[in-house]
Chains A and B, each alone.
Chain A
Amino acid sequence: MKSLTGKTLLAIATLTYLFMWVPTITLIVFSFSNDKLGIRWEGFTLKWYAEIFNNAAVRNALEMSLIIAITTIVVSTLAGTVTAYGLYKYKFRGKEVIRMSLLLPIVMPYIVTAGALLVFFTRVVDIPLGYPSILIAHISFSTPLAVFIVLGRMQRIDWTLEEASMDLGAGRLTTWRRITLPLLMPAVIASAVLIFPWSFSDFTITFFVAGVGNTTLPIYVYSALRWGETAAVNAIGAIFVALPLIGLLLMNFFQKKRVI
Chain B
Amino acid sequence: MPRGACPERHEILRYAQNDTKRRAGNDKGMFFGSFQTAFRIVGEMPGNLREKIRKYLAKQAHLPSVGPVSIWTILFVIAPLGFILYFSFLTAGDFGQILPIFTLENYQALARPVVAEVFLRTLLFSLATTMICLLLGYPLAYFIVMYGGRWRIHLLLLVILPEWTSYLIRLYAIRMLSGRAGLINSALLSLGLISSPLGILYNPSAVVLTLVYGWLPLMVLPVYASLVGLNPSLLEASADLGATPFRRFFTVTLPLTKGGILAGIILVFIPCIGDWLVPLLMGGTKTFMAGNLVYLHFISAANIPAGSTIGVALTAIVLIIMYLCIKAGGKEATERII
- CB of A241 within 8 A of CB of B169, answer yes
**Interface majority SS on B: helix, strand, loop or mixed?**
helix
CB-based nearest A residue for B37? A172
- CB of B281 within 8 A of CB of A175, answer no
CB distance from A134 to the nearest CB of B (A): 12
- CB of B173 within 8 A of CB of A204, answer no
A-B pairs, 9 with minimum CB distance: A109-B274, A86-B65, A201-B166, A244-B164, A90-B62, A23-B173, A120-B80, A86-B66, A116-B80
Given known pairs A86-B29, A237-B172, the reply for A112 and B136 (CB within 8 Å) is no
Residues facing B in A159-210 (CB within 8 A) are 160, 162-163, 166, 172-173, 175-176, 180, 194, 197, 200-201, 203-204, 208
Contacts of A39 in B (CB 8 A): 176, 179, 181-183, 186
- B69 CB–A CB distance under 8 Å: yes
Beyond the given pairs A17-B158, A143-B69, A203-B277, 15 more chain A to chain B contacts, judged by CB atoms under 8 angstroms and listed by A's residue number, are: A5-B245, A12-B143, A23-B213, A39-B186, A89-B28, A89-B62, A104-B73, A119-B304, A123-B87, A166-B23, A197-B165, A221-B169, A237-B169, A244-B164, A244-B165
CB distance from B223 to the nearest CB of A (A): 13
- B308 CB–A CB distance under 8 Å: yes
- CB of B181 within 8 A of CB of A109, answer no
CA–CA, A8 and B138, complex, Å = 13
CB-based nearest A residue for B19? A167
- CB of B30 within 8 A of CB of A175, answer yes
Contacts of A90 in B (CB 8 A): 28-29, 61-62, 65-66
Query: B residues within 8 Å of A by Cβ?
Result: 20, 23-24, 27-34, 59-62, 64-66, 68-70, 72-74, 76-81, 83-84, 87, 98, 136-137, 139-140, 142-144, 146-147, 157-159, 161-162, 164-170, 172-177, 179, 181-183, 186, 213, 216-217, 245, 266, 270-271, 273-277, 281, 291, 294-295, 298-299, 304, 307-308, 311, 314-315, 318, 322, 337-338
Query: A residues within 8 Å of B by Cβ?
Result: 1, 5-6, 8-10, 12-13, 16-17, 19-24, 26-27, 30, 37-40, 79-80, 82-83, 85-87, 89-90, 92, 98, 101-113, 115-120, 123-124, 136-137, 139-140, 143, 147-148, 152, 160, 162-163, 166, 172-173, 175-176, 180, 194, 197, 200-201, 203-204, 208, 218, 221-222, 225, 229, 233-234, 236-237, 240-241, 243-245, 247-248
Contacts of A37 in B (CB 8 A): 181
CB distance from A87 to the nearest CB of B (A): 6
Contacts of A107 in B (CB 8 A): 266, 270, 318, 322, 337
